[in-house]
Amino acid sequence: MAEKVVHKSWIIQYNLHSIIGILLLVFLFVSFYVIEDNSDGVRIPHNKPKRKKSSPKCDLFSGSWIFDNVSYPLYREQHCTFMPDDFACHKFGRKDSKFQHWRWRPYDCDLPRFNGKALLEKLKGKRVVFVGDSLNKNQWASIVCLIESTGIPSLKPLSYKGNLIAFEVKEYNATIDFYWSPLLVESNCDDPVNHRIRDRIIRIEAIENHARHWNDADILIFDSFTWWHEHQMTLLWGSFNSSDAIYKKVGMKWRRYEMALRTWSDWLEVQIDRNRTRLFFMSLSPSHKNATDWGMRNDQTCYEETEPISRKEYWGSQTDRKMMEIAEASINGLKRRGLDIQYLNITQLSDYRKDAHPSIYKRNWVAPEKKQLKTPRSNDDCVHWCLPGVPDVWNQILYAYIMDSQEN
């Protein structure tokens, strides 16, 4: 009888341990597949990698656009006193605002919200210069509006001197400037106002006349793509006024671009203070002139587009990947030579945004022709970006890189 009791007790203990073991396995199984909410209310399987805090070590350039009409836009067009007419789309008649309410969300981390005061603390006593074409001016205008939106009182009026526009924040002894140099090297298109020249002449080995205006900067942000798309340009060896200068008209867009970047790279390698200056190069900003890329008729453009392209990994036919490869090779060469330079690849994230260009809602610096007035699409701007808009995201990414720096 005692043996039966002991045997029965052992069976009960065995079954209890088995039940506990099964429950533990079920708990682990469920825990592995449990789902949790992210900031947008989208359900994400728990076994996917957790979203990290933003860092340049994370891929900030792969992600998707999320509609967010609560926290975006980051500022209002009409409240930015420094807004250039080139990017003030509402001022020139655009009625819709949906293009302002899209937030870029990287797949594996969070992009930080821009904090102008934190940035200025980082930039105290420093000089930042955006060097390039009107798309770089587009980005510069964005960061100026972002900083003004923080309510900092001591903002001085813009100062214009030659190719330079200076934006000074007196309280922080910081300046954020834009320098017009669309081809980086010297050319006959260097006048900041009168540069609409079809026969472009480039001093392919000369950069000093530009570089002396920004060689003392603490942070330099470059871009140069759009102006190289002409089928032919004239290369110049020597000076414009020299009787023995050599002129040669050439096609070979990619070769011309490569030569210019070599001149730029060589100058940086020799002249830049590596202990002081951080360098950034913005990748190609895509245009949306060819609506067949997103399934529309070939006579349509970005005009009246109000939604981003939803097709994942979309690339437009006008996005010149070969030029991007040349730029990346040049940047990688500078890194091998010991320079602190980052290539910010904003191309694809911007390529989705066919809805965010000025189109016809812009100031016309040259009076439209009769044909253009009759057919608005023939005069629309599908290259630059309305503000607030896509360049704000470029600056959020730039902000993440600057704030990640260990320097004071």
Provide the pLDDT confidence category of residue 395 given band limits of 50, 70 and 90.
very high
User: What pLDDT, on a 0 to 100 scale, did the predictor assign at position 34?
Assistant: 38
Query: pLDDT tens across 220-251, in order?
Result: 999 999 999 989 999 999 888 888 889 999 99
Q: Which residues neighbour 247 within 8 Å (Cβ) at sequence distance 6 or greater?
A: 201, 234, 235, 236
Nearest of 75, 87, 129 to residue 272 by alpha carbon: 129
Look at residue 203 and tell me whether its pLDDT is greater than 50.
yes
Lowest average pLDDT, out of 24-28, 292-296, 340-344, goes to 24-28
Q: pLDDT class for 57, splitting at 50, 70, 90?
A: confident
| CB distance 234 to 199 below 8 Å | yes
Residues 6+ apart with CB under 8 A from 219: 123, 126, 127, 128, 129, 277, 278, 279, 280, 402
Residue 18: pLDDT band (50, 70, 90) is: low
* DSSP class per residue in 74-140: SS-GGG-TT--GGG-TTTTT----GGGGEEEEESSB-PPPP-HHHHHHHTTT-EEEEEESHHHHHHH
What is the overall mean pLDDT for the chain? 86
Summarize the confidence of residues 187-214 as an average pLDDT: 93
pLDDT bracket for residue 201 (50, 70, 90):
very high
For the stretch 353-366, pLDDT in tens is 999 999 999 887 66
Cis peptide before 388 (omega within 30 of 0): yes
- Which is nearest to 250 in space by CA: 310, 287, 204? 204
Residue type, 375: T
Per-residue pLDDT, 14: 42
Tell me whether residue 7 is one of the annotated catalytic residues: no
- Please give the pLDDT value at position 39: 37
pLDDT at 367 over 80: no
Q: What integer pLDDT is reported at residue 43 of this predicted model?
A: 32
191 pLDDT band, cuts 50/70/90, is very high
> Alpha-carbon distance 364 to 367, whole Å?
6
210 has catalytic annotation:
no
Q: Pick the closest to residue 204 from 178, 232, 233 (CA basis).
A: 233
Query: pLDDT at residue 32 above 80?
Result: no
Please tell me which residue in 134, 187, 283, 285 is annotated as part of the active site: 134
Q: In what order do the strands lie in the sheet with 233-237?
A: 186-187, 201-203, 233-237, 246-250
- Which residues touch 14 (CB under 8 Å, ≥6 apart)? none
> With contact defined as beta carbons under 8 Å apart, do 286 and 318 qualify?
yes
Per the annotation, the verdict on 134 as an active-site residue is: yes
pLDDT more than 90, % of the chain: 72
User: 210, 288, 357, 384: which is the annotated catalytic residue?
Assistant: 384
pTM value? 0.85
Q: What is the pLDDT of residue 375?
A: 67
**DSSP 8-state code for residue 198:** S
Share of the chain above pLDDT 70, in %: 82
Cα 67 to Cα 24: distance, rounded to the nearest angstrom: 41
